Amino acid sequence: MSDVDLQAEQYEKCREAGEILAQVRDEAAERVEVGASHLELAEWAEDRIRELGGEPAFPVNISIDEEAAHATPSRDDDATFGEEMVNLDIGVHVDGWLADTAVTVDLSGQDDLAAASEEALDAALDIAGPGVDVGEIGAAVEDVIEGYGFNPVVNLTGHGLGHWEQHTAPNIPNREVQQGAVLETGDVVAIEPFATDGGGKVQEGADEEIFALEREGNVRNRQARQVLDQITEEFRTLPFAARWLDSSRAEMALRRLQQQDIVHGYPVLKEQDGYYVSQKEHTVIITEDGCEVTTRSR
């Protein structure tokens, strides 16, 4: 198969992942209501992805109020939705080719904050294309969010998507920067503005339910070895949830793997002063005359 044919196959799988993801995102958002279970929603969405022919590219993220990223239910999570700001961040892969999307479902009455990230994404998509400096995209995002009277989250960025890689170059900032990377035809990137009524930075919290393989390694402990085998066979380098592991002693096994720097965790990221965060994200393929959004509702 020629390089051209391989590239065409890659983009078709990216499009297929995006089509599945757009449907699951919209269906999942409709299920967010006061009293609904976080765990049931996450598991429903992950199963729905498989039912439609894809695989989860990472655990469904359900971030509440000041949470911005890396929050997913634990195995025995009993949390339910209240009158809160809910961010759903969902990913799909088809044979390792990814799509990534997010939406805010606001049950808190913060309509303007949710609108700020959504409109900022629209502004970013309007200018994304070959030869565009990512700093220009960041400036467009910042301008819209500040126009609403809020701040962009400056230490979170959009990112490239690779084969079995959720985060690759280029990073796409949510504020104006000088001399960033320049987008090229064929790039696959996730653009994701975050808006907050706080100061504009997130910090790591104490909770960790999402992990990823850091490196190959050998472990003596039988349970840890079984968990490592499942990780390398099923998830490869993509993030996974502790609740996805088959072992009855998964937590202990994960601790051992972390101690040996074989696996790393993703702490939940929270707005540093406890303020609300909204998010909107699409995956795009940079084309010769602009960009193709793969995760738009059909």
89 is catalytic: yes
Q: What is the pLDDT of residue 131?
A: 97
Q: Which of 100, 187, 208, 271 is catalytic?
A: 100
Asked about 281 being catalytic, the answer comes back as yes
Across the chain, mean pLDDT equals 96
Catalytic residue among 67, 142, 187, 192: 192
Model pLDDT, residue 275: 98
What domains sit in the chain, N to C, each tagged with a CATH number?
Answer: 3-204+272-293 (3.90.230.10), 209-268 (1.10.10.10)
What integer pLDDT is reported at residue 7 of this predicted model? 80
Nearest to 103, CA basis, from 45, 147, 143, 144:
45
State residue 75's pLDDT score.
95
Q: What is the pLDDT of residue 8?
A: 85
Is 197 catalytic? The answer is no
Q: Render pLDDT for 45-65 as a digit per residue (tens, 0 to 9).
A: 999 999 999 999 999 999 999
**Which candidate in 159, 197, 208, 271 is catalytic?**
159
pLDDT at 4: 61
* 3-class DSSP assignment, residue 235: helix
Rounded to 5°, the CA angle 23-28-33 comes to: 150
* DSSP letter assigned to residue 246: -
Q: Among this protein's residues, is 119 annotated catalytic?
A: no
- Residues in the chain predicted with pLDDT less than 50, given as ranges, are none
Q: What HEC string does 186-232 produce?
A: CCEEEECCEEECCCCCEEEEEEEEEEEECCCCCCCCHHHHHHHHHHH
pLDDT recorded at residue 298? 82
pLDDT for the residue 279? 98
